[in-house]
Structure 1
């Protein structure tokens, strides 16, 4: 069962999301937060698998709350999926920097939202074309780089892990990588997780960042 915490200052939206998520056999909402402070506190209390986080909230915004959650040692198993009204370059860049594993606009369909939750909990990044573009053009070009992510670890990867990491950094899904390399999606997933472990990446989003940082793939 995937346990989800909802963080949004609009009660109607939280109620809608709860009904949608609780209607699925493998998903359940464990708590709701109306502001960023509550989101952080309730995440520590419930240890959900995923926090569905709005950006604009009172007391503490969603980006600051995401940063606190992702930095907490006892919440290493919790992923954050940012859900907001609009995708701006600035918000995408800050969400990724804060440690978010995914970024969706609130105009997504119910099916896309549910699929996004499962994707992020499964360890894959959920990066739209906008987010990927920002990752390349703004995030990596910022003065302070990408923070404390490890460097110089690419030699630890096997040739296959390096190849698959590069394809993941180009935005390909596990299925797309499997189709290109004529292997099973499970094989791709295994290589991705091994690469994440060797590189110290929290999730697929950080793996993509490291691939660009280390020059495994080049920004266009």
Structure 2
């Protein structure tokens, strides 16, 4: 059985805040998880964290048979019943952790018309998309991939619930858009929407 734990300072950690990936498969192996994330993941029987955002629960279900969020097992019914916000899509848009109508592809574990069950690397050519939307997924590797697949002038949107509603502080989410020119952040209902643009 292959079990992976996301940790920080020896304690279980949130996906976005983890510094180490500790894998137990007969032996113990520690992988640096600091400025990467999804590129360090393989397939696990169990993936254990202290807490996950909604989109992270979704994408991590693609790399583990069972995902444990704190003390709870993440079930597909939870992902299907989650109340997703209405996200408007235009152009050739890739959505990560959500699948809005009009997206050319969605990286999600929830079955759907345009679902692609892959998280890293993105299965798209360089400069082939107009927009990438991340829904509650804070991952440096995926942001680098978004930069690769977006055309010059392409847009990225990062949606995260405000910490009052169980999400994160928007200043934390901003750190994950380091490859983009941040154009602004606005509060839409309980979600912060942070927008950026690819300049080069």
What TM bracket, shorter-length normalisation?
Answer: 0.3 to 0.5
Structure ID, larger Rg: 1
Task: Considering fraction of residues, name the structure with more strand.
Answer: 2
TM-score (norm 1): 0.32
Task: Considering fraction of residues, name the structure with more helix.
Answer: 1
